[in-house]
Chains A and B, each alone.
Chain A
Amino acid sequence: MTILVSKDTKVICQGITGRTATFHADRAIAYGTNLVGGVRPGKGGTKHLDLPVFDKVTDAMKETGADATMIFVPAANAADAMIEAIEAEIPLAVCVTERVPVLDMVRVKSALNGASTRLVGPNSQGILAPSICQIGVMSTVHAQPGPIGIVSRSASLTSEIVAQTSDVGLGQSMTIGIGGDPVHGMGFVDSLELLLADEDTAGIVLIGEIGGTEEEEAAEYLAANKIKKPVVALVAGVHAPSERRMGHAGTLSAFGRGDAASKIKALKSAGVIIASNAAIVGQTMADALKQ
């Protein structure tokens, strides 16, 4: 049993007629994702990639039975598209769009409050259950089914770690790109909760980076959780060039957390194995599973 998706998940694409959306919808179909339709206001009743196009998410759900959506709507309208999906109560929404204004995400967060939809993203590479379902833009080249769950803030680094976990003969149960924006849907903690409970997942790779406090929150969650699985973490940005700052609020917002050292310390104390560099993550996980 895979988390979040299955072979039967019916996926629609919001913004399907766009160039990037078309490219990735086509890729998803080729990969075996059960793409059943698209949404593009004003183009309802037409076809795109041989799929029916609807004006609204609710129409698409009613006609196709869709239970997941991937959102490729341009940044200016992405928040409205996410809110439409949330209000339609679609179980899973994955938003790929990058550069969504942060105050728009404040609106989306408030729509998510108490809602039944799980939102992944925005600025997410998507989710991939190898050979089962791909929703998003992530690389599938080196992915293969296996026991490792990967949760990540970075798309490119995920491609690298997916390849490494395949190279050491493991493969992936699920990879989740939670997205790189400050305010987003599902986070590390939500993902860990699913992956720890998933019987097809034997080990978890957490790919973090500097900024925010989600790694620290993940550490607190892992320390308190009863289910234990080997967790390997990589925190990128230990030697990041220092940003020019404007005032003090950036530092004060994280309350003394947020830098690489704080994240590594918190994760270590929660029993997480720290991969000291990006090249050894796959091998570190393989070693951890042997013990």
Chain B
Amino acid sequence: MNIHEYQAKEILARYGVPVPPGAIADTAEAAEAIVKDLDATRFAVKAQVHAGGRGKAGGVRLVATAQAARDAAKELLGKVLVTEQTGAEGRQIRKVYVEAAENIDRSLYTALFVDRQSGKIALIGAKVGGEDIEERAAKDPDVIGKVLLDLHGGSSAAMEEFAAWLDIPKALSSDAVSLFEGLHQAFSDLDASLIEINPLAITKDGRLVALDTKVTIDDNALARHPELADLRDDDELDPVELEAQSHDINFVRMDGNIGVAVNGAGLALATNDMLVDAGGNPANFMDIRTTATSLEISRGFDLLLNAPNLQAVLINIHGGGMTRCDTIAEALGIAMRRTGRKVPIVFRAAGNNADFARTVLKNCGITFTDARNMKDAVEHAVALAGGGKRT
């Protein structure tokens, strides 16, 4: 679960992470009032959307007066912001965060995440922060430094050394160590999967300040954090994908014309690859979990059948373990009864109850192309959707 910058800053401040003073506004008037309350000479008005790259995309405005803050907020609120991380559809700005702008001497980068290889918490950093950090690291991996921490933290000596590697002046070394310790404590208390401070600024008057913060909470741990439930912002999620999630279905909308349903993420990825290679254009990615009931799966099919450009449906099931092909056939039967839409269906079933699944579909009165392997299934679907390899 992603949370907004203003929420992340409020939480991290409780862990002693220095952040500029600021407040959240959903109207231009509120933004103006915040500036009047802040003791500073310059202010930042920042669009609150769940994506990076806001600065480059014009989502962060620097202003000097309350009136200018009001104008900036007016411009930003309601606007759709497209950044390199939002995708082409962008995000609507519903709130702006207004904070005191700092006089920056240097900008650094730092982040915490779980390192897959070691199974420890990685604290990484770079001497120079900013939105182009990935390009710079791609050219020169040595731009990024890394320290591995245990769940209960690392030695302050290691953190001190890391601060020195980041060229943080000696006078700020102990501040840097407590900042890293605060970030680590927050990471483990919140069950975070990511905390990113970019930039981490050293101000002209010699303070360390977290200017922008991103925090992602591990979805698998949300059940034990009822206190974080309020931070969720459903406006940031795709309504179709949100609906799918509520039925325990992993659904990603795409812009093609072939609706696709597969059991399991790996087989779904592989099916998607084959479809695209064959010249097909998937309308979605839908992965049916092993434990899903026919009613839950039918809700996923409802969403799939709702895609605007739908020309064909491809269902690829390899039933094993608890997954039975007939459960999925039954779900399709339910969804086809609910929709008025006529669309050609390619059904490929193997493994548990595959024959029975085909019988279930026939009994539901559904006509379908009966494919017996992945290659046939994909080729039929692409042909029915009017696509195919360009010759």
Binding site for B on A (CB under 8 A): 20, 23-24, 75-76, 99-110, 125, 137-142, 152-160, 163, 180, 182-183, 207, 209-210, 212-214, 217, 234, 236-242, 244-253, 255-256, 276-280
Contact = CB atoms under 8 A, between A and B. Distances in A.
Contact of B52 (A217, A248, A279): A248
Contacts of A245: 51-52, 85
Contact of B214 (A155, A237, A246): A246
B144 interface: yes
Interface of B: 2, 50-52, 85-87, 109, 111-122, 124, 133-134, 137-138, 141, 144, 150-151, 188, 191, 193-194, 196, 198, 214, 216, 218-221, 223-224, 252, 254, 262-277, 285, 290-291, 318-323, 350-352, 373-375, 378
A158 B138 CA distance: 33
Contact of A278 (B113, B138, B274, B323): B274
Given A207-B266, A237-B273, A278-B273, A213 B133 contact: no
Contacts of B51: 244-246
A102 B267 contact: no
B270 A103 contact: no
Given A109-B120, A155-B321, A240-B273, 14 more contacts: A99-B219, A106-B119, A109-B118, A109-B119, A137-B321, A139-B318, A140-B320, A155-B266, A156-B262, A213-B117, A246-B194, A251-B134, A252-B124, A252-B133
A146 B216 CA distance: 45
Contact of B188 (A23, A103, A155, A160): A103
Contact of B269 (A24, A210, A242): A210
Contacts of A109: 118-120
A80 B218 CA distance: 18
A78 B111 CA distance: 28
Given A103-B151, A109-B120, A138-B320, A159 B218 contact: no
B121 A279 contact: no
Which of A20, A141, A157, A249 is the most central at the interface, judged by chain B CB atoms within 10 Å of its CB?
A249
A241 B50 CA distance: 18
B196 A249 contact: yes
Which of A76, A125, A159, A212 is the most central at the interface, judged by chain B CB atoms within 10 Å of its CB?
A159
Nearest to B354: A141
Nearest to B262: A156
A110 B150 contact: yes
Contacts of B285: 240-241
Contacts of A250: 113, 194
A110 B119 contact: yes
Contacts of A24: 321-322
Given A99-B220, A153-B266, A236 B318 contact: no
Sort A-B residue pairs by CB-CB distance and give the 8 closest, nearest first: A139-B320, A154-B266, A156-B264, A109-B119, A157-B266, A156-B267, A278-B270, A101-B221
B381 to A, nearest CB: 13
A137 B319 CA distance: 11
A102 B273 contact: no
8 contacts: A103-B188, A106-B114, A142-B350, A155-B266, A245-B51, A246-B216, A255-B137, A278-B274
A247 B199 CA distance: 11
A210 B224 CA distance: 29
A23 B322 CA distance: 8
Contact of A154 (B87, B220, B265): B265
B151 A110 contact: yes
Contacts of A76: 223-224
A72 B318 CA distance: 22
Given A103-B188, A103-B221, A256 B266 contact: no
Nearest to A27: B321
Contacts of B87: 242, 244
Nearest to B144: A252
Contact of B116 (A23, A138, A213, A249): A213
Given A239-B273, A246-B51, A256 B137 contact: yes
A212 to B, nearest CB: 5
Nearest to B195: A249
A107 B151 contact: yes
B129 to A, nearest CB: 10
B54 to A, nearest CB: 11
Contact of B320 (A23, A106, A159, A213): A159
Nearest to A260: B273
Contacts of B52: 245-248
